[in-house]
Amino acid sequence: MKIFSKKQMALGVVVLLLPVAWFILDRNKEPFPEYDWIEICTLEGIKRAKYDNKGNLLVEEWVSQTPPHLLVPEINNELAAAQEMPDIELDNLVIEQCWVRLLPGSLPAAGYFELKNLTGQALVLNGVESKAYASAILHKNVKRQGMLAMERIPEITIPNNGSLSFSPKTNHIMLEKQTGSLKPGDFITIQFNFLQAGKKTVQCKVNPAGALEY
């Protein structure tokens, strides 16, 4: 009867465990590491997904299946109309790098921008609208019981000489129910409404699904 040394036995155990370790590592491997995750706000909850450079979906998974809010366009329109907003284009209000992440199918798009208030007074942003979408709502990222969720922002105050940034890692404009055909490279108009002050209309670039910046 052949007797194995402790060294030989240990080597045998390592050889036996190698396939198991490889299987575990392979399962936990980050899918498509060359692409970044993006968060997608839908009426059913929050997803995260990866898209290639052509906008093809590579992988997606649910982050939270808690609806961000009840989307009732009629109510939102009534609330916007109830606020007194002079039909005046605001000077010295700068909105730059406005862009929209276009997602496939009926998924809502997300809008981002950089704003600087040089008007000489504080401004209250209380809504946005676009003819390219039936509904446009300001959203912020929040955590509820450790889970990522989205909430509607009724209004945001921007002090004089202050700034406001909506980026993929912070807040976004949820754009739903596209009214016409859009493709990456197009531009859409978004109107920013300010309580008792006026409005600012800007052109926003349409970017593909995997975009993370302007």
Q: What is the pLDDT of residue 214?
A: 94
In order, the DSSP letters of 15-53 are: HHHHHHHHHHHHHTSPSSTTS--EEEEETTEEEEEEE-T
Q: Which residue has the higher pLDDT, 210 or 8?
A: 210
Question: How far apart (Å, rounded) are the C-alpha atoms in residues 7 and 85?
Answer: 82
Q: What is the pLDDT of residue 66?
A: 64
Structural domains of the chain ordered from first start: 71-207 (2.60.40.1890)
Is residue 61 predicted with pLDDT exceeding 80?
yes
Tell me if 177 sits within 8 A of 134, measured CB to CB. Answer: yes
Sheet holding 38-42, edge to edge: 38-42, 45-51, 57-64
Question: How far apart (Å, rounded) are the C-alpha atoms in residues 133 and 135?
Answer: 5
Q: pLDDT band at residue 11, thresholds of 50, 70 and 90?
A: low
pTM over 0.85: no
- Taking alpha carbons only, the member of 160, 161, 95 closest to residue 122 is 160
Report in angstroms the alpha-carbon separations of 101 from 70, 82, 126, 137, 190: 22, 30, 22, 15, 14
Residue 94, both tokens? 């700068």
